[in-house]
């Protein structure tokens, strides 16, 4: 899996630490809301008696995966609320080796502002997972331009800046903050990425699909690396549907058929990537991925995947892909790292990684589930 990355897409090299081993900036800075996900396992919420508490968030998950599995210097710029739930979230962020960059909010003891709660059971077999939200008076939705000192952050060295459509959907000010961050990133020479992550339930109170498309088009004008499948491109950006019908959910032709539209509308975009997933049951998926980089497309093999908890698999893919690009891997190797890591994340409880880099590399190179002794 050798080869050189195209000259048109380049990632800044890491900044060296000083003689004391300090400094060196960040490989990756993510901007987004962090949430708690209450997980009753395979039991539906209407009959649940207990839950596990996961700390999650589309943007945070990528940073956590990069830090914990791949050893990248990663940070999350987010809202933090000074109350016990905030303490729990802060501890989990630090446990994943992610540097926290907080805009702090005081809780009034009754109404908030709050760290949002996501409710999501895992489903089982023919019963699909069910996800719903309580994002009332969410602190992250109150984030706005000016809340973070971008010149200081990027001045210390940041190679890659990331955000996503879930954070963009929270309020008019969060989408404006993403644009502010991306503009600062480009001034500093950093790569920018955005995961469309279109969620109809979250956009509904903010104006629905038409509002989502207007907001996300304005953001993607500042994006180098775009993550999202053909439904995200249609619903989130308003792109016409593919002219070529897919033979199956694993057929990349529909996705690749939309790349010309993306490039025509957003010539700044240099990389577009997505997972490909055919769901046979909640616990059995066929899994692949595809990436388009500087005019060439690459498709991962298809893996038959036994799924424990599907939430976070897409973020796992993005993290592995980004790690490959950050570490100088060629496009095919970077894609395989994303494909392998995303698959592994679906085998763990929770939304973030428990994998090691050696495990990811072994699976990316064709490893199996045979016992390791």
CATH code where residue 63 lies: 3.40.1190.20
Residue 3 pLDDT: 39
Low-confidence ranges of the chain (pLDDT < 50): 1-7, 18-22, 371-373
Residue 2 pLDDT: 38
Residue 247 burial (10 A CB sphere; 0-12, 13-18, 19+): exposed
Residue 244 pLDDT: 56
Residue 15 pLDDT: 79
If one counts the domains in the chain, the total is 1
Please write the tens of the pLDDT for every residue from 87-96. Answer: 999 999 999 9
Please write the tens of the pLDDT for every residue from 293-345. Answer: 989 999 999 999 999 999 999 999 999 999 999 999 999 999 999 999 999 99
Q: Which range of residues forms the domain containing residue 51?
A: 28-364
Residue 194 pLDDT: 98
Question: Residue 14: inside a domain, yes or no?
Answer: no
Helix and strand numbers (H, E) in the chain are 13, 14
Question: Residue 176: inside a domain, yes or no?
Answer: yes
Question: Residue 6: inside a domain, yes or no?
Answer: no
Residue 372 pLDDT: 44
Question: Residue 328: inside a domain, yes or no?
Answer: yes
Question: Residue 12: inside a domain, yes or no?
Answer: no
Question: Residue 10: inside a domain, yes or no?
Answer: no
User: pTM of the prediction?
Assistant: 0.94
Q: Which of 179, 154, 177, 153 is nearest to 79 (CA)?
A: 177
Task: Give the separation between CA 256 and CA 236, rounded to whole angstroms.
Answer: 17
160-164 and 28-31: which strand pairing? parallel
Residue 23 pLDDT: 53
Which structure tokens are listed for 358? 């050696």
303-306 and 284-293: which strand pairing? antiparallel
Question: Residue 371: inside a domain, yes or no?
Answer: no
Which structure tokens are listed for 184? 């600062």
Q: Which of 117, 203, 210 is nearest to 165 (CA)?
A: 203
Question: Residue 127: inside a domain, yes or no?
Answer: yes
Task: Give the separation between CA 31 and CA 219, rounded to whole angstroms.
Answer: 13
């Amino acid at each position: 899996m050798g080869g050189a990355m195209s000259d048109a897409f380049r990632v800044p090299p890491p900044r060296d630490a000083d003689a004391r081993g300090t400094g060196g900036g960040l490989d990756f800075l993510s901007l987004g809301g962090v949430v708690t996900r209450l997980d009753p396992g395979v039991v539906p919420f209407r009959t649940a008696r207990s839950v596990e508490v996961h700390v999650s968030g589309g943007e945070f998950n990528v940073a956590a995966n990069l830090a914990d599995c791949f050893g990248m210097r990663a940070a999350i710029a987010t809202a933090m609320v000074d109350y016990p739930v905030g303490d729990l979230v802060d501890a989990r962020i630090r446990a994943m080796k992610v540097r926290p960059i907080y805009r702090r909010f005081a809780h009034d003891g009754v109404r908030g502002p709050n760290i949002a709660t996501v409710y999501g059971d895992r489903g089982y077999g023919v019963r699909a997972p069910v996800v719903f939200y309580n994002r009332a008076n969410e602190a992250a939705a109150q984030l706005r331009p000016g809340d973070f000192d971008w010149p200081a952050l990027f001045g210390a060295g940041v190679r890659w800046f990331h955000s996503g459509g879930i954070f963009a959907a929270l309020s008019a000010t969060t989408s404006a903050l993403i644009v502010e961050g991306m503009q600062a990133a480009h001034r500093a020479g950093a790569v920018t990425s955005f995961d469309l992550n279109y969620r109809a339930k979250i956009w509904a109170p903010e104006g629905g699909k038409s509002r989502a498309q207007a907001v996300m088009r304005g953001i993607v004008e500042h994006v180098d690396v775009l993550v999202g499948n053909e439904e995200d491109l249609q619903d989130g950006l308003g792109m016409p549907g593919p002219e070529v019908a897919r033979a199956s959910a694993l057929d990349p032709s529909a996705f690749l058929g939309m790349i010309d539209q993306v490039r025509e509308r957003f010539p700044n975009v240099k990389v577009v990537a997505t997972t490909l997933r055919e769901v046979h049951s909640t616990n059995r998926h066929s899994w692949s991925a595809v990436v388009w980089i500087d005019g060439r497309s690459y498709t991962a093999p298809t893996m038959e995947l036994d799924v424990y908890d599907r939430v976070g698999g897409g973020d796992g893919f993005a993290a592995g892909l980004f790690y490959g690009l950050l570490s100088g891997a060629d496009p095919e190797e970077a894609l395989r790292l994303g494909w392998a890591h995303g698959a592994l994340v679906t085998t763990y409880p929770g939304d973030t990684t428990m994998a090691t880099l050696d495990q990811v590399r072994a699976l990316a190179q064709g490893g199996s589930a045979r016992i390791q002794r």
